[in-house]
Structure 1
C-alpha cells in the first residue's frame, strides 16, 4: 500500500486540478482584478476575521459590530463577482467536507463499534 502522505499529496493535486477549485480560482481572480469588488471583499474578510478573533478570545461583540457586519454582508451579496466567489467557495467546501467524511469513516466505524458493545 502507498504511503498515506503520498496519497494525501495526490489528493492535493487532484483538488487543484478539479473543476471546483479552478472555478473558485477564476472567481477569486475576477474579484481581485476589479478594484471596487476587491476593496469590498477585503473589508468583508477583515470584518469577519475581527469578529471571529473576538469570539475566540471570549469577548462580547457589540450591537454596532453586528450591525456593521450585517451591512457588509448585504453589500457583498449585491456584488455579482463576490457572490459568485462565495458560491464557488461553498461548493468546494462541500466537496472537502465530503472527502473528510470519507477519510474519517474508518475511525467512525471503529469507535462506533465500541459504542454498540
Structure 2
C-alpha cells in the first residue's frame, strides 16, 4: 500500500514541474486576474454545455446555439490571452486524460467512462 502512495507522490512531484502543468497553472492565474476574460471563458463553457445538451436531447445543435457559439469563437479568436488559456487548458486535459487511462488500465475498471 505504501508503494502506491509513494508512486502517487512521485507523480505529483513530476507534475509540479511538468511544462504543460506549469503553463496551465500560469494561464489560470492570469485568467483569474481579469473578470471580463473569466466571463468570456464561462460563457464559452455555458455554450459548450448548451450545444452538448442540444445534441443529446434533440439530436443536433440548435441554430441559435450554433450561431452564439460561432460569434463567441470569433471574439475569442481575437483575444490572444483567452485563446492561449483555452489551448493551454486543452493540453493539460490531454495530459490528465492520458494519466487517467494508465490508472484505468492498471485497475482494470473504467473509472472515467
Displacement of 1:4: 3.0
Aligned residue in 2 for 1:84: 84
TM superposition score normalised by structure 1: 0.67
What 5-or-longer segments of structure 2 have no aligned partner?
A: 108-113
Structure 1 residue runs without a partner (length 5+):
108-117
- What TM-score results when the alignment is normalised by the length of structure 2? 0.69
Structure of larger gyration radius: 1
Structure 1 counterpart SS, 2:52: helix
Task: Select the residue among 52, 56, 59 that pairs with 2:57.
Answer: 59
Question: What is the RMSD of the two structures over their aligned residues, measured on CA atoms?
Answer: 2.8
Instruction: Kindly indicate whether residue 7 of structure 2 is the aligned counterpart of residue 7 of structure 1.
Output: yes
Q: Which has the higher contact order (CA 8 A, sep 6+)?
A: 1
Query: What secondary structure is seen at the aligned counterpart in 1 of 2:36?
Result: helix
- Which residue of 2 is the match for residue 69 of structure 1? 69
- 1:30-69 paired onto structure 2 within 5 Å: 30-55=30-55, 58-60=56-58, 61-69=61-69
What is the distance in 2 between the residues matched to 1:96 and 1:12? Answer: 12
